[in-house]
Chains A and B, each alone.
Chain A
Amino acid sequence: MMLLPCPWCGPRTATEFRFVGEARPRPDPATATPEQWRHYLYVHANPCGWSTETWYHRAGCRRYLSVERHTLTHEIRAVRDAATGTTAEAAP
């Protein structure tokens, strides 16, 4: 079982969340070439180690979270709200 410490809801089991994937900027749809766009869609970093990724707390606060997670050990070292940057310490 993997526990994700949500800054708003506290530690919750990973089944409450939806894994969105690697966190990275989207290219500008107005200027991106089809190749750049497809690269953004399909090619993701797939590290065996620390990864910064987005998780959605669908059965909780319904906020998008930015999570630093180790993909081999499932250790989690930093979680914050993806939009506001709020961490557990700073949350009300």
Chain B
Amino acid sequence: MTSTNGDGHRPGRRRGYSAWSLLRHGLGREEWPRAWYERELRGSYDAVIIGGGVHGLATAYYLARDHGVRDVAVLDRAYIGSGGSGRNTAILRSNYLTPEGVRFYDRSVKLYEHLAADLNFNVMFSQRGHLTLAHNDASLRTMHWRTEVNKLQGVDSEVIGPDRISELVPYLDTSGEARYPILGALYHPPGGIVRHDAVVWGYARGADAHGVHIHQQTEVTGIDVERGRVTGVQTNRGRIATPVVLNATAGWAGLVSDMAGVSLPIQTSPLQAAVTEPVRPFLDTVVVSGTLHVYVSQTDRGELVFGASVDPFASYSMRGSLEFAEGIAGHVLELMPALHRIRLLRQWAGLCDMTPDYSPIMGPTPVEGFYVDVGWGTYGFKAGPVSGEAMAACLAHGKPPEIISAFGLDRFGDGRLVGEKGAAAVGH
């Protein structure tokens, strides 16, 4: 019998996942090796990343893989993927409104397309198409605008009419009698859904394989700054000395930045989502309605996932509310009356750090060595890979790469906002 590392799992060389390994493990009795390991917490690292979600883990992965910075710790106060990365509705798209936004999110979709192969981890990305419905002339106008901006950036988007919509989504009420008649839709074929836990675990496994340490249940309680420079972080497991700290948290981004004396233009509000019992596959695309504040997709297991916009007040509470359940049910039935007997299985909430312009805040801060990748509102998950890639470059070179140069913290003082509300106000 081979030795184990104390938790029943074999240490040693990590084997790749493949059809052959699936067959071998399916027929044999050999245990699957751990995807990643809990390492000893050291007293110092070259870089410390606060937040073990898709952003933090992706940054660590690209730092180690592309820039050779391997002495990195990712800290999470709970478990990896316990925040926004595990609470979103897993929708990916790049049909934004500003050229800066479209280019940025398109890079993310491109990275997602190859992520399963890159990480040797099946993230189940299903590019099933994404429809944003227009119920009035104003939305239709914004969609034409978005289509043109998207085309200029080489992103596949078009405005389609009700006939085409009912072909794509047969159960949608496209009749003129609907209370909110569907006039058209922005159709974005590359959009789709992905399995969010797999993305988190794939990046964790990839980062771990490159030597990154992932520390769960490690809560940062303070950030040490001396003469305008970061020197370390205080945690519930002791102090860690480091010259570079990245705040990659969501929900607590403001509280963590306050520890370093950096105030952020962020208001935190919960966003609620719900899932129904599974039914047979009938919904191929992702359907979004900004007017009705709802988005619907069907998972591979057959459940319908519903999401809404953020609750209309500041809060750190992740309790679900009856108002949400009532509202979302009414809005979904408005779109798909045939669903009137389907039952909700559960509802949950995640925290969203809303910025004034609905764009993220990425890059250096006035405190040397303290970087932020925050303000991810309702669009953080879909930006995980590109944020990891860009923040890794930012941490390695000390300055933001071109793709995120519009998203710096200084834009609020300078009045250079990147207004993305027209395409991001309904979180999806």
The residues of A with any CB-CB pair to B shorter than 8 Å are 1-2, 13-15, 18-19, 21, 34-35, 38-39, 41-44, 46, 48, 51, 53, 71-74
Q: How far is the CB of A63 from chain B (nearest CB, A)?
A: 17
CB neighbors of A among B262-307 (8 A): 263-268
CA distance A13 to B265 in the complex (A): 28
CA distance A74 to B270 in the complex (A): 13
Q: Are A38 and B254 in contact (CB under 8 A)?
A: no
Count of interface residues, chain B, beta-carbon cutoff 8 Å:
22
B8 cross-chain contacts in A, Cβ below 8 A: none
**Among the listed stretches B90-98, B160-168, B204-212, B309-317, which one makes contact with chain A, having 4 or more residues with CB under 8 Å of it?**
B309-317
Q: Decide yes or no whether B322 CB sits under 8 A from chain A.
A: yes
A41 cross-chain contacts in B, Cβ below 8 A: 356
* Chain B interface, DSSP helix/strand/loop, else mixed: loop
The residues of B with any CB-CB pair to A shorter than 8 Å are 252, 254-255, 263-268, 312-317, 321-323, 356, 412-413, 415
Q: Give 26 CB contacts A-B under 8 Å.
A: A1-B322, A1-B323, A14-B313, A19-B313, A19-B314, A21-B267, A21-B314, A35-B413, A38-B413, A38-B415, A39-B413, A42-B356, A43-B264, A43-B265, A46-B255, A46-B264, A46-B267, A46-B314, A48-B255, A48-B268, A51-B314, A53-B314, A71-B314, A71-B315, A71-B317, A72-B317
Of all chain B residues, which has the CB nearest A72? B316
CA distance A51 to B317 in the complex (A): 14
Q: How far is the CB of A45 from chain B (nearest CB, A)?
A: 9
Q: Are B317 and A73 in contact (CB under 8 A)?
A: yes
Q: How far is the CB of A59 from chain B (nearest CB, A)?
A: 13
A46 and B312 contact, Cβ closer than 8 Å, known pairs A1-B323, A73-B317: no
- CB-contact partner of A1 in B255, B314, B321, under 8 A: B321
